[in-house]
Amino acid sequence: MTEITQSPISFKLKVVHVLRLVVAAVGRFFFSIYYGNPTEKLPPITDDILKQPAVEVARKIRTKEITSVEVLETCIRRIKDVNSILNCFVEDRFELALKEAKAADELIRSGTSSEDKIQKEKPLLGVPFTTKDCIGVKDLHQTAGVVMRKDKICEEDADVIRLLREKGAIIIGLTCVPELCMWWETHNHIHGRTKNPYNTTRIVGGSSGGEGCLQAAAGSCFGIGSDIGGSIRMPAFFNGVFGHKPSRYTVSNHGQYPIPQTELLNSFLGVGPMTRHAVDLKPILEIIAGDKKTELNLDKPVEVDKLKVFYQTSSEAPLTDDVDPDIRKAMAKVVEYLKLKHKIEAKEVKIERLKKSMALWFANMKTDVPFGSHIMKNHSTFGIIVEIFKNIIGCSGNTLIALFTALFDKGGVEFGGPKYNRYLKVREDLETKFKDMLGDDGVFLYPTHPTPAPYHNEPLLKAMNFSYTAIINCLGLPATHIPLGLSRDGLPIGIQVVANHNNDRLCLAVAEALDKAFGGWKEP
């Protein structure tokens, strides 16, 4: 395999890593004092329909056990009950959605289509869903959390939204994202900061943070997120729900902002479902994959007993936290469960190249379009520095992390240069290693994130912790986050399961098995 040349900086990295851990530990101490114990509690879920899988809600609507209007009104009440606490929902289309729900109910009552025909042609008829504020919904804003885009109105639905609406689902609104969807805490200067439903002093992740939060709080029947470095799986992890990043190129990115600048970035970005129940993932994926669904063979049965299972409990990557003991225990329980229930002897592996996860992701994300050009007019180095000072005194429309990202983007690997090309080769070699290991019947269990949800702003001290998800985007592999209960502090934990290209069904089968075994989503 091609090697990245080693240099004396390796020792410096170790020193920096130790110093970062010390700073993070001191920071955690002060954050814990500043935030104290959370005082805001969510009202309990009073309507059982919000606790049921979306496919079950769809069945009850088409069999007239409940109406689409009733389901929608229940979701609207729930959103209003929780949003003042969580700040996860940013724009609604309630009136239009109610008209669409009434039309769905009228179609069912008319008897012009049988239940079987409705199930085949419009399997999600009347089911309300939400998406993040970077995936286009006709006549709604598409800001991606960027102040320069605060007045941007979408003229058409993104492909995924169109496909879901064609199958009867009803889009009811948008959820919050970090600025330009490029950070793993959800906060922007248009809509503010989103809070974790299990503990409001903690983050919800990003960039599909508002969506993960709303799903955990049961505000809609399912959600749609997007993921270029973990933006579905991290919010799913922090909020205790399921989230699936599909295989590359299987779900259209058309209608997503920011637009991938290169074909390589387009292969990293995946639009996928976020749900409270694993059983909803496959039918939603089948719809949003459109014509590509045949490549996924989602109807092909998966015998979990016959899967090869590999696992790794830590990347040991520099500048990332150690994996929390509760997450390690959860991984061990999964391995033990697979042995006892499915007679699978999971094999522990140590893939050394995963130590380079962040270097690979940053290098492969590089383009010739400056990051700063997406968020500010004057994106020169001087202009960014001026904006940072304006931010410090509260006069900037940009978040501090977005400005630092724009400044950081000025350096690093040169796009198209020799070092950039070497990193591309290392990425290709690592992808080959995974393909050879997994084949068509293997899955890889790996932490989604090394720690449960940190305090607000604490990710600034743990910036590289998203390495566990980011590297999977580089490889274009499908991955599903699976919730596995709560930590000792009452925060969601879990792991991700990864499969070979177009073997999404293996991830989803494992997710359904572990959902049944470990209980999946827990009401906040």
In this predicted structure, the answer to whether residue 3 has a pLDDT above a threshold of 70 is no
Which residues form the domain of 279?
47-366+412-518
What local confidence, expressed as pLDDT, does residue 315 receive? 95
Write phi, then psi, for 126 (nearest 5 degrees).
80, 5
What would the two tokens of residue 130 be?
């939400």
Between 35-39, 113-117, 322-326, 460-464, the lowest mean confidence (pLDDT) is in 35-39
- Cα gap 14→16, rounded to integer Å: 5
- Global pTM value: 0.96
Residues 190-196: what's their mean pLDDT? Answer: 98
Which value, to the nearest 10 degrees, does the dihedral of the CA atoms of residues 312, 318, 319, 320 take? 10
With residue 436 as reference, give the H or E element that holds it: helix 418-438
The answer to whether residues 131 and 175 touch, using CB atoms and an 8 Å cutoff, is yes
With residue 78 as reference, give the H or E element that holds it: helix 68-86
- Cα gap 428→417, rounded to integer Å: 17
Contacts of 473 (CB under 8 A, 6+ apart): 227, 228, 229, 230, 245, 268, 269, 270, 361
Write phi, then psi, for 151 (nearest 5 degrees).
-105, 10
Which value, to the nearest 10 degrees, does the dihedral of the CA atoms of residues 341, 347, 353, 355 take? 60
Closest residue by Cα to residue 446 from 498, 484, 486: 498
Instruction: Name the CA radius of gyration of the chain, rounded.
Output: 22
* Residue at 377 is within a domain: no
Residue 9 binned pLDDT confidence (cut-offs 50, 70, 90): low
Closest residue by Cα to residue 259 from 228, 285, 290: 228
* Residue at 341 is within a domain: yes
* Residue at 217 is within a domain: yes
**Count of domains forming the chain:** 1
* Residue at 13 is within a domain: no
The answer to whether residues 343 and 307 touch, using CB atoms and an 8 Å cutoff, is no
Q: Which residues are catalytic?
A: 132, 207, 231
User: DSSP label at 51?
Assistant: G
Q: What is the CATH number of the domain that holds 459?
A: 3.90.1300.10
What local confidence, expressed as pLDDT, does residue 14 receive? 79
State whether residue 486 is helix, strand or coil: strand
Residue 476 binned pLDDT confidence (cut-offs 50, 70, 90): very high
* Residue at 28 is within a domain: no
* Residue at 396 is within a domain: no
* Residue at 23 is within a domain: no
Strands 442-447 and 347-348, by their bridges, are unpaired
Residues 250-268: what's their mean pLDDT? Answer: 96
What would the two tokens of residue 321 be?
């936290």
- pLDDT tens, 378-418? 999 999 999 999 999 999 999 999 999 999 999 989 999 99
- Cα gap 360→425, rounded to integer Å: 10
The full length of the chain comes to: 524
Question: For a pLDDT cut of 70, what percent of the chain falls above it?
Answer: 98
* Residue at 399 is within a domain: no
The answer to whether residues 135 and 224 touch, using CB atoms and an 8 Å cutoff, is yes
Between 14-28, 186-200, 380-394, the lowest mean confidence (pLDDT) is in 14-28
Residue 13 binned pLDDT confidence (cut-offs 50, 70, 90): confident
